[in-house]
Structures are given as structure tokens and as C-alpha cells.
Amino acid sequence: DAKTTQPPSMDCAEGRAANLPCNHSTISGNEYVYWYRQIHSQGPQYIIHGLKNNETNEMASLIITEDRKSSTLILPHATLRDTAVYYCIVRRYSGGGADGLTFGKGTHLIIQP
Amino acid sequence: NAGVTQTPKFRVLKTGQSMTLLCAQDMNHEYMYWYRQDPGMGLRLIHYSVGEGTTAKGEVPDGYNVSRLKKQNFLLGLESAAPSQTSVYFCASRKWTGGSETQYFGPGTRLLVL
């Protein structure tokens, strides 16, 4: 799986959009971009994933650049409950492969009131 | 659905003692995982299972054993606990849907080895 680079921490005001960047310049054509988050002391939670098209669900939007070397997770209206560590993970489509997720240190997003 | 549950939530052991951590999932997932998380770090894979009766080593398997006797349960054992095994342990199960996956994590077990 390709390596990812994320800023260690970010601040965002409550009610504003939080934009979390991720660099994955060595991504290959069959690798997906996944985002998980971990709220303090809890287990990680799946947010969203994508291959090359932009994706949106009830939690967030994922914007992947055309060359797929970077992506941005967008939380449209951040709340205090969105304070967490956000992990960007590049994951090979392995047709059923079983290996676990590779977590880096992620970005600690702090939502300010 | 309870999702993924873990027992116990917290445990203190003395060096050399043994214990078993239990993970249970009610989503009928084939794949299950055990991770550990040390302070300020991301999760690291200990062992995983692709189905009942099968297990495999992950990134940091030394000092741990696992068993998957039933599809819904995945057990992590420490035969002789060491202070280096002080950590938070997370279990996960995986939903696979045609080319992409979602892992569902339990709430964690906090283990302190003195």
C-alpha cells in the first residue's frame, strides 16, 4: 500500500468547513483512498473512501485530484464532536485480500467553539 | 446490532500473568483483526483471521496467540504478559463489498502490565 503524508494537527472553527489534506504521491492505479477517524479513546470509525471520482456521503466529502496524488476530506459544517484524529489510508484493491489497515499518525483536528 | 464488542474494557496484569481478550461481532463478517495502539501512535496489526478456524500473523505478532473457533468470536491471548504489552487493543471486523471494504472497530481494551 502507498505511503500517505498528513499534517500532524489542524484547527477549525465550529460551523465552518474542515478541509483535511492527504498526500499520496506514490499511489497506484488500483489503490483506493480511505478515511477513518478516531475520537478520543474510542475505536476508529470509517468515514468515506474513493478511487478516482469525488465521493460524498452523510458524513463527509472526498475530493481526489485528477492525478490521484493527493486528496482532501471535507467536513462541511464541523461541530465540536468532530474533534478527532483523522487517518488517510491508501489501500490496494486486493480482490479479497485479508491484511489489515496501515495507520500512520494521522491529523489531529481540533474544532474550536 | 451490537456491532463489535470487546471484553474486558480494562485490565491490570502483573508481569508473567496470562489473559485472554474476547472480541465478538454480530454482523456475520468473515474477516476479523486484532490491533494494538500505543500512545501517540497509529494502530498496528497483531493477528487476523479470514474465517472460522484460520488465523495469520500481522505486523507485531510476537507474544500473542489467537483463536477463531466460532465465526463471531476472535480471541487474543497473552501467555506471559510483559510491560511492553501495555497498550490499548482494538478488534475489528471487515465488510467486503465488491472491491472495497469497511472495517468496524470495537471500543478497545486497555491493558496495563506492571
Closest by CA to B111, choosing from B21, B24, B51, is B21
User: How many Å from the N-terminal Cα to the C-terminal Cα in chain A?
Assistant: 37
Of A41, A98, A104, the CB nearest to B42: A104
Q: What is the pLDDT of residue A16?
A: 97
Question: Grid coordinates 485530484 are at which residue?
Answer: A65
Q: Which of A32, A41, A46 sits opposite B103 (nearest CB)?
A: A46
Could you tell me the mean pLDDT of each successive run of 10 residues in chain B, 114 residues long?
Answer: 92 97 96 93 92 93 96 97 97 85 94 97
Q: Is the dihedral of CA A105, A109, A110, B3 positive or negative?
A: negative
Question: How does DSSP assign A28-43, residue by residue?
Answer: -TTEEEEEEEE-TTS-
Distance CA B35, CA A102 (A): 10
Set of chain A residues whose Cβ sits within 8 Å of the Cβ of B44: 103
Mark out chain A residues that contact chain B at CB-CB < 8 A.
32, 36, 41-46, 49, 87, 91, 93, 95-96, 98-106
pLDDT tens, per residue, chain A with 113 residues: 668 999 999 999 999 999 999 999 999 888 889 999 999 889 999 999 999 889 999 999 999 999 999 999 999 999 999 999 999 999 875 545 567 888 888 999 999 99
Across the interface, whether the CB atoms of A98 and B48 are under 8 A apart is answered yes
